[in-house]
Structure 1
Amino acid sequence: MDDASSLVSNGVPSAEDSSPSSDVSLTVDRPVPTTLDAIRTPVEDDLEAFRTYFREAMRSDHFLLDKIVQYVLWQKGKRIRPLLVLLSAKACGGATTEITQRAAALVELLHTATLVHDDVVDDAEERRGVFSINALWKNKIAVLMGDFLLSRGLLLSLDHDDYSILHTLSDAVRRMSEGELLQIEKSRLLDIDEETYFRIISDKTASLISACTKSGAVSVTEDDALIERMDQFGETLGLAFQIRDDLFDFHMEDAGKPIGIDVQEKKMTLPLIVALREAERSDRKRILKIVDQDEKSREDLETVATFVTEHGGIDYARDRMESLAEEAKSYLAPLPPSDARAALVGLTEFTIQRSR
């Protein structure tokens, strides 16, 4: 998929472009799971096989590397991305394959590598409530660890000639890098508009989600139309996922990250962008002055959060997120009814309703 996704017209998905006109409404003839444990059920055996495969893929004879690998594995996490690969494969083909397992492992290796590097770039001392790798072993070792994980993923695909999946994931990494750099460039000037925002999150976040769903499909089918549909499903789901993260910054204390962290880092997210657009010029200048400060007090952060709420930023972002979630589900309509398809619908709902 190109940088300017077919789902994003000039960077901003519009209501008119929400779903293909040829799609029928999604009907689910079986219960839609509402918890993450229930969502995992159709691929529980596959997930267990993945955990073993992933551990083996990360193994190293180097003492220090293996020690850090064990620390990474101990942290676990939700493993949403390999779950997406497995569910997508099962929804498209009825069963997973060895290629599916390798795709899931590659996704998680690349994702973990980007998190390790992100912590170095952000000088973050914690990840998922525990010390980050750079906090424990310093930046140089953390960067090298990220490189090691990236190389393991690339070799995993090359050793088995999984070129299509490798191309998909490599393109996602390229887009993630470009999205991150564009966000840094624009954040310095505090001039991100809604169009630019969607371009950033399409590359920075949605690219890897779409790579998951596309790779799952590629591992079980050669139907180009079906592969493209799963690519579009993941792209749209990724946009909704990022908006949910952005909403956490303003009104949720249990979001898994400190309230106001995006504002602290001068990140212009959708709720803030919309509120600034709707505000009077004097109010815009006052809030931008706060956002541009290198150090912000708790009172400053609460002032920005109140401003965003009162000027409709929260409501607008929530509406866009819910609209994108509905669009994402529409791409699943032509798939045959199955527990895996129902789980993908449930995972879409879980994405926009999660508390962290």
Structure 2
Amino acid sequence: MAGTKKGNLIFVGPLPPPILGESIALQSLYKSEKLHQRYKVKKINLSRKDFEHPGALSFDKLFTDSFAILYSGFLSLAMKNPILYISISQTKMGLLRDCMMIQACKVLGRGKVVTHLHGNNLGGTIDATSGIAQKFIVNALRKIDVGIVLGGKLAPNYRGHVKRVEVVSNGIPADFILKSEVGQGKKKRGISLLYLSNLMFEKGYVELIKATTALIQEGHDLRLDLVGGIQNESEFQEVKRYIAVNEVDQRIQYHGLKQGEEKKRFFLESDMMALPTKYKVEGQPMSIIEGMAAGLPIISSDRGIIAELIKDCGVVIDPTVEGVKEAIKNLVIDDAERMRLGRMSRETFEEYYTEDKYTDSLIAIFDEL
């Protein structure tokens, strides 16, 4: 694109902190050198402190949303034919805010709109609205030029109001874990299981702990490492007491939130990964893609497009204690299957889920518009 004028892009969505799958994915695009080479980018960061209650009203949220709407309107007027790229909200108040920004871009800037859905609850939010609010939302959705989803199964979330829907899978840097590093940190004895996500009840970490405890008490040489931020402190303290009462605190350990090389070490030292999520807005967890990069077999549930993501390299389970326990036990006792799924994880990651594939696909959509 050397010698040609840069396009204008208004970039809207939550960037870290907090560290969530959506914010990590958005940050990788925002930091893309290629994006800034081709576009003059103005960002509107919608990061929120309270990820436990994302739709809750607060003064801080009202101020942030009001500023976002006004600033997007100003940028739409000031920039020539901008593209509004927005990580569309899945809460009612957030969706109304986003629709106001879409309308501003179309009316004030005569620009193009690309929305990116990082989950699986937009359709439910649309259905839950009525009257003037629903008419306003539907009118805005029909003005979207391209709606992006993480997998084809999530396209119905737009409820048919967006004419063009494209699939772009998440991706992580190809050098996060090199192929030559896979398997290098694994311990000599026992099987090491990794849970890496925020410790939310909806993510299934409680069921995972109970299943692992039962297997340890049955005599299996197994350990579980929990890595991530705590969402509910009182719930977590109950879980700690359960671990202590069952005398498995040497085998099941919580390590806090880890990033960079520390996080990478946990992936390299593990034999398999589990995320028995029940989270209703689950899309395509970044942590699972990271586990695939590390060559780990994945145990997870049919939420969002997880089943599609791990169909060749994991086990899809019912996120109950018994469902989790059976899947773990089968892979603990079957070394050959565990190794096979691990190899498929790495191969699938390399073919489909690198950061370059993710950012290039999005930039290609912007370029076309």
TM over 0.5: no
- The structure in which a higher percent of residues are helix is 1
Scaled by the length of structure 1, the TM-score of the pair is: 0.29
| Larger Rg computed on CA atoms | 2
TM-score, scaled to structure 2: 0.29
